[in-house]
Structure 1
Amino acid sequence: MTGRVVLVVGASSGIGLATAVAFASRADDVVLVSRSGEALDAAEKACRAVGTAAVDVIAVDIGDPGGAGRIVAHVLERHGRIDVVVHSATTMAYGTVEELPAEVFTSVVDTAIHGTLHLAQAVLPVLRRQHRGVFVGVNSLLGSVTVPRMGAYTAAKWGQRALLRTLQQENRDEPGVHVCVVSPGSVNTPVYYQAANYTGRAMRPPVPVLSPRRVALTILHLADRPRRHVSVPVGPGNPVIVAAFRCVPRLYDRLVGPLFRLAGLTRTPVEPTSGNVFEPCAALERTHGRWPVKR
């Protein structure tokens, strides 16, 4: 399918940017949303470079309760309809629950849960009036398991996943409207060094690390052939990790801490930082991070 109107929230970096470029390469009209206007300029150029002519950019923080309404109004005024919505905006924080400043923890959770809420409340009525449309929420493997020192992010993603599953149930009465969930594992994006960090050590994504384009292609496939009743995993180890968390919790709890320290922590010391939790870091926003990937 081509020629659709696609709204991508969190489009200036990582999975969101890879997804925007993938839709643009198929001659879809793309609307790019991020809180970083500077980074959106680069995202717009990347989308135009692959061939699409219609690219709109909107610098809005999806955490703003009124922001989603302004976004949807702009898209409808410009295009008259919305065919696909991709919500990939997220922030991340490392540190134990005791270490993290309460405002950092709260902001990470707000971006995932309240950001999804604001966008869904603004856009789903439009899709229902149209009797068609796809809403894709980018969740995470950590929406199904927990990991030490990632309590803010896991709380955010568990809550977001619950909200998305509820939206799937509440929109069963409209056969043409689909709410889909994508749950990637480790992805080679800048989020790991943009994150708030109170561990004293720089972070890295645990292997195997996937390309953002692999997640983007999964999202494109869902836009073409929606699956409304499941969360689609992206990553070879995800089902095994989730099964261990659910079926052998004692073993999982014994191993997850040491494995996280081995796979996620580097030896590079860092000072405590709130990262991009409160303000975007435009200079660090791009599609890929610094790590080798599994295609």
Structure 2
Amino acid sequence: MSKTIFITGASRGFGKLWAEAFLKRGDRVAATARNTADLADLVATYGDAVLPIKLDVNNRADAFAAVKNAADHFGGLDVVINNAGYGLFGTIEETTEEQARQQIETNVFGLLWVTQAALPVFRAQGYGHIIQVSSVLGIVTLPLLGLYNASKFAVEGLSDTLAQEVKQFGINVSLIEPNGFSTDWGGASAVQSEPMEIYGSIRESFAEAGSQEGFFGDPEATSAAVLQLVDSKNPPLRLFLGKHTLPWAKNVYQERIAQWEEWNDVAVAAHGN
């Protein structure tokens, strides 16, 4: 049975790939982008199955209007995918106020507005699936991506809480947590801070790690996993994408647990009774 999907940031990267994967198998897609001209190829190929919607997710009113438009046009929605977002590269010290605010505005508040807009639609239907595109950097961190890390940690906390609140309405919530993939996320879509020479060695190490063969995954390979997630009758709250995610997370959490245990006597004493 075909599904109706609303997906933000559908003009490039994961959003474009996944939108086309849905359309190829016969789903209907409300595809949003800041510039709907970037969706012209999808419209030319798939016709009425795709509804292009101009949307800047930072505008809350427009986010609500876009979701309503899609639901009215298709007669409901099955899945909302919050994919819109970008990476901000720079150390914490280098990041300007405007850069920091814009990163959180788009990656957190933009996702929040679309999520809030989808909930009344899903509650009225008695079902729905909200998929948030997070990152492995929502549970572990890398230097030079501090504000991006922070935005995805926020998405993780928000969505984990949301899942507990809306399960009673038949609404599922999933977090997609990719490792690095060869999209333009680190290229044309990214914002770079003004580098300070003192952090040069960190930049060199960062670049060296990213240049290793096999470090970045193939974006095309993710579509099958996303289709499986959308079709699942009992979807997981969290889904890693990529071969590096689970080993990395295990290593980091083992270190965290060891440190918590080392300091547990201090933590218990601080309880006071």
TM-score for both structures, normalised by structure 1: 0.77
What does the per-residue CA deviation read over 1:35-66, in whole Å, with 9 as the maximum and x for residues that have no partner? 12332224434xx2xx5642110111011111
SS in 1 for 2:187: helix
SS in 2 for 1:248: helix
SS in 2 for 1:182: strand
Report what 2:217 is aligned to. 210
> What is the rounded CA distance, in whole Å, between the counterparts of 1:217 and 1:120 in structure 2?
24
Q: Which moved more, 1:207-216 or 1:72-81?
A: 207-216
Report what 1:255 is aligned to. none
Q: Which moved more, 1:208-217 or 1:106-115?
A: 208-217
What does the per-residue CA deviation read over 1:208-254, in whole Å, with 9 as the maximum and x for residues that have no partner? 322223323222111110545531101111111112222226xxxxx
TM-score for both structures, normalised by structure 2: 0.83
What amino acid sits opposite 1:25 in the alignment? Answer: K
What does the per-residue CA deviation read over 1:172-204, in whole Å, with 9 as the maximum and x for residues that have no partner? 2123x2111111111111111121113657965
Report what 1:35 is aligned to. 34
What does the per-residue CA deviation read over 1:136-172, in whole Å, with 9 as the maximum and x for residues that have no partner? 1111010011111100110010001111111111112
Q: How does 1:1-295 map to 2 (within 5 A)?
A: 1-2=1-2, 4-45=3-44, 48=45, 53-175=48-170, 177-194=171-188, 195-198=190-193, 207-248=214-255
What amino acid sits opposite 1:27 in the alignment? Answer: G
SS in 2 for 1:209: coil
Alpha-carbon spacing, 1:158–1:221, altered in 2? closer, same or farther (3 Å): same
SS in 2 for 1:77: helix
On the 8 A contact 1:19/1:216 being kept in 2, the answer is: yes
On the 8 A contact 1:138/1:183 being kept in 2, the answer is: yes
Identity among equivalent positions (%) equals: 28
On the 8 A contact 1:6/1:28 being kept in 2, the answer is: yes
> What is the rounded CA distance, in whole Å, between the counterparts of 1:205 and 1:170 in structure 2?
42
Alpha-carbon spacing, 1:152–1:227, altered in 2? closer, same or farther (3 Å): farther
On the 8 A contact 2:6/2:31 being kept in 1, the answer is: yes
RMSD of aligned alpha carbons: 2.3
What amino acid sits opposite 1:231 in the alignment? Answer: R
Spell out structure 1 runs of 4+ moving beyond 6 A. none
The structure with more radius of gyration: 2
On the 8 A contact 1:192/1:205 being kept in 2, the answer is: no
SS in 1 for 2:32: strand
Alpha-carbon spacing, 1:192–1:42, altered in 2? closer, same or farther (3 Å): farther
Report what 2:266 is aligned to. none
What amino acid sits opposite 1:217 in the alignment? Answer: A
On the 8 A contact 2:96/2:193 being kept in 1, the answer is: no
The alignment covers a number of residue pairs equal to 245
On the 8 A contact 1:28/1:52 being kept in 2, the answer is: no
Alpha-carbon spacing, 1:171–1:229, altered in 2? closer, same or farther (3 Å): farther
What amino acid sits opposite 2:34 in the alignment? Answer: R
What does the per-residue CA deviation read over 1:60-104, in whole Å, with 9 as the maximum and x for residues that have no partner? 101111121110121122112111111111111111011011111
> What is the rounded CA distance, in whole Å, between the counterparts of 1:145 and 1:98 in structure 2?
20
What amino acid sits opposite 2:247 in the alignment? Answer: V
> What is the rounded CA distance, in whole Å, between the counterparts of 1:52 and 1:225 in structure 2?
27
Alpha-carbon spacing, 1:100–1:119, altered in 2? closer, same or farther (3 Å): same
> What is the rounded CA distance, in whole Å, between the counterparts of 2:47 and 2:229 in structure 1?
21
